[in-house]
Amino acid sequence: MSAQPMRLIVNPVAGNGRGAKLWPRLSEELHAGGTEFDYVFTEGPDHAVELARQAVAEGCRLIVAVGGDGTMHEVVNGLVIEYEVPAGVVLGAICCGTGSDFARTVGLAQDPLAAVRRLTHGSDRRIDLGVIHCWREGRQVVECFPNAAGLGFDGEVAARVNRMSKAGGGTIPYLTGLLLTLITYENKPVTITLDDRTWEQRANAVVVANGRYFGGGMHIAPDATPDDGLFDVIVIGDVTKLELLMQVPRVYRGTHLSHPKVDAYRSRRVQVESPQRLILQADGEYVGETPATFRLLPGALTVRI
């Protein structure tokens, strides 16, 4: 199968319509640089998964997600076939969504026009990839994530944000969702297993991070490295609503790990269970519910940075 030009998968509704507004300028920049490419537009949820799979099947070797973290999440899941990305396939990204959390960690350009130039003149970086086994609508599902996943309060916030307008972009939608969720959310009992260690506690949230940022710039896992073969697991314990609210500025600065009810661990495998319903998000997208198991595929994804 002969290699095809780069394929751009464009989400026109990313960033509250920013994807559609930017695309003519981005396309013009690509043509001006003499870049050979083709493109497709997504038409709804999960369509980017299908389009990425089609691009791989047609021999594309540089597949570019044009959108936010959710678009990136879908494209990555389209690239993975039987727990691996086919040899020679590289992921590119042009960030124009609500958040750019994945970009912050791996070194992608957050300016869309700068990102266009890096597609042809950038270098490649191999990073780890997370795999989730969880439950959705009564059936077991498997999904991959390049950046971060969260259970509990974080999952509830992400679910709410995805139902809201994302006008303003960046941190504004996540902060709004956080404050609205805070009013009614109650901490849950959880059983956590990290590799061969298991314990029970009451927790507000469990974050399984490959990257450092989530929620539109929250520095949730400040020590995470996406190519070290380990998850950084952040457990926010039985904090009160006031304690959680007071920690929000510290999370943006990455100084929250010193709080006595916040613990950080490293692990290759994570399992979380609860007798109550715990919503799970990955890269800001609703994935499912507990029980959930996370494992790492070291160096599975190559990213053009």
pLDDT tens, residue order, the chain (305 aa)? 345 689 999 999 988 888 899 999 999 999 998 889 999 999 999 999 999 999 999 999 999 999 999 999 999 999 999 999 999 999 999 998 777 899 888 989 989 999 999 998 889 999 999 999 999 999 999 999 999 999 999 999 988 887 776 555 557 777 888 899 999 999 999 999 999 999 999 999 999 999 999 988 899 999 999 999 999 999 999 999 999 999 999 999 999 999 999 999 999 999 999 999 999 999 989 999 999 999 999 999 999 99
CA nearest to 60, candidates 94, 89, 30, 31: 89
pLDDT for the residue 163: 78
In the prediction, which pLDDT does 93 show?
95
| Closest among 271, 150, 135, 296 to 221, alpha carbons compared | 150
Tell me the HSE value of 251 on the side-chain side, using a 13 A CA sphere: 23
Q: Which pLDDT belongs to residue 35?
A: 86
Q: State whether residue 31 is helix, strand or coil.
A: helix
Buried b (16+ CB within 10 A) or exposed e, 133-162: ebeeeeeeeebbbbbbbbbbbbbbbbbbbb
Domain ranges of the chain: 6-122, 130-298
Of 130, 160, 122, which is closest to residue 148 (Cα–Cα)? 130
Q: What was the pLDDT predicted at 40?
A: 97
Among 109, 276, 257, smallest CA distance to 200 is for: 276
Read off the DSSP letter of residue 5: P
What local confidence, expressed as pLDDT, does residue 166 receive?
57
Out of 38, 69, 111, 283, the active site residue is 69
189 near 277, Cβ under 8 Å? no
Options 3.30.479.30, 2.60.200.40, 3.40.47.10, 3.40.718.10; CATH for 130-298 is 2.60.200.40
pLDDT for res 5: 81
The rounded distance, in Å, linking the Cα atoms of 258 and 261 is 9
Could you confirm whether 101 is annotated as catalytic?
no
Q: What are the residues facing 10 on neighbouring strands?
A: 41, 66
Q: Which residues pair with 149 in a beta bridge?
A: 208, 282
- pLDDT recorded at residue 1: 36
The CATH number of 6-122 is 3.40.50.10330
Cα–Cα distance measured from residue 121 to residue 6, given in angstroms and rounded to the nearest whole number: 13
